[in-house]
Amino acid sequence: NLNGTEEKKFKRFESYKRDTQFPSKVKDLIVLVDPKNNSVILPIMGRPVPFHINTLKNATTSTEGGFTYLRINFLSPGQGVGRKDDQAPFEDPTAQFIRSLTFRSHDTNRMEDIKDQVTEMKKAAVRKEQEKKDMED
């Protein structure tokens, strides 16, 4: 690639290359965590939509009216997190971001479990990133 510098600054990542790589459970229309591919798969209008762990900020849960709400927060500009340099797509300043997605379910245990798995996966990703940085220094 000609823009060697830009490529280096913005780290490319990809959840899946082909839809055949999806776990078979996507057919259940549920939120899935796939640590093997560093991704969560969210059911949006009948379609499994992957999001890479590098785009995720965190996951939280709350309970109301018999439902457990799972909120997935993504990294996006203007959050004052300061880490956005790692993520922002330099190629396009007009890009829109998905900032959060909230799902509800009656299955409290599974929602809590998903939250924990996301947190775990995020921790592992940050740790890996740090190790890489240390190696480079």
Residue 134 CB, nearest approach to another protein (Å): 25
Residue 10 binds to another protein (criterion: CB under 8 A): no
Report the C-alpha gap between 77 and 109 in whole angstroms.
Answer: 32
Using CB under 8 A as the binding rule, the residues of this chain from 51 to 70 that contact another protein are 51-52, 55, 69-70
Binder among 10, 23, 35, 43 for another protein (CB under 8 A): 43
2: left (phi over 0), alpha (psi -120 to 50) or beta: alpha
Contact 103, 45 (CB under 8 A): no
Residue 4 binds to another protein (criterion: CB under 8 A): no
Contact 68, 107 (CB under 8 A): yes
Residue 66 CB, nearest approach to another protein (Å): 10
**CA distances, 114 to each of 23, 68, 132 (Å):** 15, 12, 27
Residue 125 binds to another protein (criterion: CB under 8 A): no
101: left (phi over 0), alpha (psi -120 to 50) or beta: beta
Binder among 3, 6, 7, 14 for another protein (CB under 8 A): 14
Residues forming the site for another protein (CB under 8 A) = 13-19, 21, 26-31, 39, 42-52, 55, 69-70, 74-78, 80, 82, 89, 92-105, 107
